[in-house]
Amino acid sequence: MKMKQLYKYLFAAVLILQLIACNDNTDAEQLFNETPTTRLNNQKTELSEALLSSPQGWKAVYFTDNTVLGGYTHLFRFAADGTVVMASDFDSDTDPHKSEYAIQVGSTVSLTFTTKNRIHLLSDSNNYPIPALRAKGYLGDFQFLYYGQENGEIIFRTNRNNQELRFVKATAEDWADLPKNLVMEQNVIGGEERPLFRLLETNDGTTTHKFDFSFAAATRFATSNSIESGYSVSYDLGIGYTPTGIIVSPAVEVGGQKLSNFTYNDADGSFTATGTGGVSAVIKYTTKPLVLTDDYKYLLAGQPLSWFGFFVDDYTIDSPANSPLLYAELEKVNAMLPAGQSIASIQIYANHSIGTFIYYTFVGRNPLQHHVTAEEDADGKKVILKHKSWNGNTTVATPAFLASIDKYFMDPEGLYVKAESFRLYYSDPVYTFTSASSPFRMTTWKLQ
């Protein structure tokens, strides 16, 4: 190639590069021709217009921390004068309440609820559901950083822990049906007539897996662990209520699909999420434990002393493993006692120097000992307690005020005993006693 032609090509290449650079600079100038203050003010206007654009306001299911807590539905109707009408399913008060809000500009644009309303129940550190969250509350926020809009939704991130929160357009039905969320809560908890044991069953279209399922109403949180040997999958699920079922977060992943919306079936108490290609997840009842243990053997003759205690004025009363039927029976006992008296504890002593007995203590009256024998149902992995005497007197009948609750410990079908994986504030191991033929379960500490 001649030198003259080479210079021509080099000149053309340099010219092209200069033109590209000019275009890039022009694009950059167009991109950054607004000052940071202008951009923030534009975002403020954008958010303000968005909040006012939905006739029925906005809905958010707020999972403050889905590793320990469930979701809380909030409805918002914003007004141009800086007021907001808000309702939530945090508790039985689902009525709308009016307060104030502001769109604030700092390093970013944020929506802040400036006067107290339902959303602040999640951020109050003095309002906590379990001892582990003492001084932390429900880990919620009342200031939300604006991150734009997508598919008609407003995207925020919480100021406290940078969690994404989306506002979706609410409907008139959302406001009218909000109290139904709390009806659904009772369906999730389960009535006295429902079996005590639940499982989560997943189907990826070809294979079914089963997991135990334990739900804590105070935190709206569930844990689910595989019961299959060699299959170590588990799910920790925050639960949010809807009028027709529940939302779980994080989603249950089955066969590569994420299932988060479960529909309730009142006929059998199940909740079902359905994907495509036969993929599904079902939370349903079963009449016996998924895994049977040998923990009942602590009560059999010849074993060392064991002492199990349930206490009305201590953390065992709040255990998520206690059944609704237990609480109902405690109320029956107290209703039958004279004024000023109440049941204080139920303790089970096995292989004590004076035998095996159920020890009932009270406020305002002397304790009672129900002496029993313990027989083994080896096939069913249960212990069957049989009456011997009250306070050593074989001729005394069961006191009338204890007859209703005591019969569950004397269940002819026996009792399941299980060491639980959780603790109740103290380090003492936790054991549950479950009637084999009824939905009665009591949580105890193993104190000896």
* Alpha carbons 249 and 238: distance in angstroms, whole number: 5
Beta-carbon neighbour count of residue 210 at 10 Å? 16
Specify if 17 maps to a domain.
no
The 10s digit of each residue's pLDDT in 288-300 is 888 899 999 999 9
Averaged pLDDT for residues 227-252: 95
Domain shared by 165 and 194, yes or no: no
* Alpha carbons 163 and 144: distance in angstroms, whole number: 9
The DSSP 8-state label assigned to residue 305 in this structure reads P
pLDDT of amino acid 18: 53
Specify if 24 maps to a domain.
no
The 10s digit of each residue's pLDDT in 175-197 is 999 999 999 999 998 877 888 88
Looking at 267, 286, 305, which one is the last position of a domain? 286
- The answer to whether residue 8 scores a pLDDT higher than 60 is no
Contact between 122 and 62 under an 8 Å Cβ cutoff? The reply is yes
Question: Which is nearest to 199 in space by CA: 184, 215, 186, 183?
Answer: 215
- The answer to whether residue 15 scores a pLDDT higher than 70 is no
The 10s digit of each residue's pLDDT in 114-149 is 999 999 999 999 999 988 899 999 999 999 999 999
Domain shared by 272 and 308, yes or no: no
Specify if 10 maps to a domain.
no
Query: In percent, how much of the chain has pLDDT > 70?
Result: 93
The three-state (H, E, C) secondary structure of 116-138, written as one string: CCHHHHHCCCCCCCCHHHCCCCC
Domain shared by 230 and 133, yes or no: no
* Alpha carbons 394 and 402: distance in angstroms, whole number: 17
pLDDT of amino acid 122: 97
Distance of CA 224 to the CA centre of its chain: 12
Burial of 9: CB neighbours in 10 Å, binned 0-12, 13-18, 19+: exposed
Domain shared by 278 and 320, yes or no: no
What's the pLDDT band for 32 if we cut at 50, 70, 90? low
Contact between 105 and 41 under an 8 Å Cβ cutoff? The reply is yes
* Alpha carbons 337 and 141: distance in angstroms, whole number: 45
pLDDT of amino acid 123: 96
- Residues pairing with 72 in the sheet: 62
Specify if 11 maps to a domain.
no
Q: Which pair of tokens denotes residue 139?
A: 């880990």
pLDDT of amino acid 190: 85
CA angle 272, 276, 281 (to 5 degrees): 25
Domain shared by 140 and 275, yes or no: no
Domain shared by 329 and 437, yes or no: yes
- The answer to whether residue 10 scores a pLDDT higher than 60 is no
Specify if 12 maps to a domain.
no
H or E stretch at 416: strand 415-419
Specify if 2 maps to a domain.
no
Averaged pLDDT for residues 399-405: 97
* Alpha carbons 297 and 301: distance in angstroms, whole number: 9
Specify if 70 maps to a domain.
yes
- The answer to whether residue 445 scores a pLDDT higher than 90 is yes
For helices 400-409 and 324-336, give the axis angle rounded to 10 degrees. Answer: 160
Beta-carbon neighbour count of residue 317 at 10 Å? 16
pLDDT of amino acid 34: 73
Contact between 109 and 44 under an 8 Å Cβ cutoff? The reply is yes
Domain shared by 232 and 323, yes or no: no
Distance in angstroms between the alpha carbons of the first and the last residue of the chain: 98
Contact between 443 and 423 under an 8 Å Cβ cutoff? The reply is no
- Secondary structure class of 68 (helix, strand, coil): coil
* Alpha carbons 235 and 249: distance in angstroms, whole number: 10
Domain shared by 244 and 301, yes or no: no
* Alpha carbons 118 and 139: distance in angstroms, whole number: 14
Looking at 137, 157, 178, which one is the last position of a domain? 178
Q: Which pair of tokens denotes residue 441?
A: 């379960």
Looking at 260, 286, 312, which one is the last position of a domain? 286
Domain shared by 186 and 224, yes or no: yes
Residue with tokens 């595989």: 226
Count of domains forming the chain:
3
pLDDT of amino acid 178: 98
Specify if 13 maps to a domain.
no
- Residues pairing with 288 in the sheet: none
Contact between 128 and 118 under an 8 Å Cβ cutoff? The reply is no
List the domain range (segments joined by +) for residue 432. 295-446
Domain shared by 352 and 365, yes or no: yes
Domain shared by 326 and 400, yes or no: yes
Instruction: Specify the CATH number for the domain of residue 229.
Output: 2.40.128
Question: Which is nearest to 443 in space by CA: 425, 427, 424, 426?
Answer: 424
Instruction: Write out the E strands in 193-244.
Output: 197-204, 208-212, 214-216, 221-225, 234-241
414 Cβ contact partners less than 8 Å away, ≥ 6 residues apart: 377, 380, 382, 383, 384, 436
Higher pLDDT, 4 or 322: 322
- Secondary structure class of 379 (helix, strand, coil): coil
Domain shared by 110 and 213, yes or no: no
